[in-house]
Amino acid sequence: MSGWNDPVLITGGAGFIGVNLADRLLGEGHAVVVLDNLSRAGVVENLAWLQARHPHPQALEVIQGDVRDARVVRAAVDGCGAVVHLAAQVAVTTSLVDPIGDFDVNARGTLNLLEALRAQSQPPPLLYTSTNKVYGPLDHVTVSCVGSRWAPDDLRLRRVGIDESQPLDFHSPYGCSKGAADQYVLDYARVYDLPAIVFRMSCIYGNHQCGNADQGWIAHFVRSALERRPLVVYGDGKQVRDTLFVDDLVDAMSAAFAQMSTIGGRAYNIGGGVEHTLTLLELLDLLGELEGVRPEVTFAPWRPADQRYYVSDTRKFQKATGWAPRIGVKEGVARLCQAFHATLGGASRGAEPRGDHRWTAARIGS
């Protein structure tokens, strides 16, 4: 049973998650409203792709606006049947440079949306995409180096990952702003009876992602490899993350809306879980296997609040909805490589090394 009520408002809908969600919904016959300020690299191209695939204006409405503008948000919310809140400032590094801007987008922008929803006579259901960064650096989780990766000394954590009972521990302005928004959504659900769910997400990747050194590390590594550009690895490259291909995330969103009446008002850890983990060095290995090349790598100091180990325990959401990831790491990375090949054309395959960049097909850590 579908839980989507039309039209579906997607804030940040021209970003990579938003455009994948909108494409799925439009393909299923739903009406979609995209609210996006089009400020991030690649989103204009994403939106053009979406509009070309779904040219009927009665199905897809685009509002170029900012969640920091309460009037724009109220107008976008009016009459919508469901809301997915993706609009955000997404990089820890940017938040360190401009903490006020980070707060305005992530915390105040979310509060603008919540107030717009509260003003509706029948508030539509909301899904807010939070982050595992609300748990902080997890310094109390002792880890040991096992082979080419960090692993918790606690065997239970090693077996199932981090669950929602993990205490919140906001670090960095980004962690504070996303964490504040996370808590506001849950509190509005509790105090004002808004139908809402929070996803604390881990390492989402997939088609239409414009990753960079600050955010979207899998896409950043893939594109750097295909374009034969050197990479900087922060830390030792052995840090472990669970990864989730965007198609599986969209499935999880659909499951959440279908079960909103019974599972709303809670936060859920959403990621690939223990069966879909990857380290930075292992991704370089995988790119060597899939593409025959890997970029020159230099190492830099650990970044603030970087977790040596974070793997989502998704059992709470799986038990509530029956959802589970379907796309394995190798298949997902291969799909992303294919998508970048299609976008970059001949420049991504068989190109000669540029400048002084040195290349090797040698694999790391296996």
Is the residue at 54 inside a domain? yes
Say how many domains are in the chain: 1
For 121-172, write each residue's pLDDT tens digit: 999 999 999 999 999 999 999 999 998 899 999 999 999 999 999 999 999 9
Collapsing DSSP states into helix, strand and coil, what is residue 17?
helix
Is the residue at 234 inside a domain? yes
Nearest-angstrom CA–CA distance, 307 and 138: 6
pLDDT at 198: 98
Beta bridge partner(s), residue 129: 199
Residues carrying an active site annotation = 174
Amino acid at 1: M
Print the domain residue range for 337: 8-348
Collapsing DSSP states into helix, strand and coil, what is residue 269?
strand
Let me know: does 237 contact 279? Beta carbons within 8 Å: yes
Segment 24-29 shows an average pLDDT of: 97
Is the residue at 365 inside a domain? no
Tokens 């920091």 correspond to what residue? Answer: 68
pLDDT band with cut points at 50, 70 and 90 for residue 222? very high
Nearest-angstrom CA–CA distance, 345 and 361: 21
Is the residue at 83 inside a domain? yes
Inform me whether the pLDDT recorded for 16 exceeds 80. Answer: yes
pLDDT at 303: 82
Long-range contacts, 113-117 (Cβ 8 Å, 24+):
113/11, 113/67, 113/73, 113/77, 113/83, 113/85, 114/184, 114/185, 114/188, 114/194, 115/70, 116/70, 116/73, 116/74, 116/76, 116/77, 116/78, 117/77, 117/83, 117/188, 117/194
Which whole-number Å values give the CA distances from 366 to 148, 198, 283, in the listed order?
8, 37, 11
Is the residue at 267 inside a domain? yes
Alpha helices in the chain (DSSP H): 16-27, 43-53, 70-77, 92-97, 99-103, 109-118, 155-160, 172-191, 217-226, 246-258, 260-263, 280-291, 315-321, 329-344
Instruction: Please enumerate in sequence order all residues whose Cβ is within 8 A of that of 14, keeping only pairs 6 or more positions apart, or say none.
Output: 34, 36, 38, 43, 44, 46, 47, 50
Inform me whether the pLDDT recorded for 283 exceeds 50. Answer: yes
Nearest-angstrom CA–CA distance, 243 and 312: 9
pLDDT at 366: 22
Is the residue at 364 inside a domain? no
- Which CATH number do you get for residue 285? 3.40.50.720
3-state helix, strand, coil in the chain (%, to 5): 45, 20, 40
Is the residue at 357 inside a domain? no
Is the residue at 199 inside a domain? yes
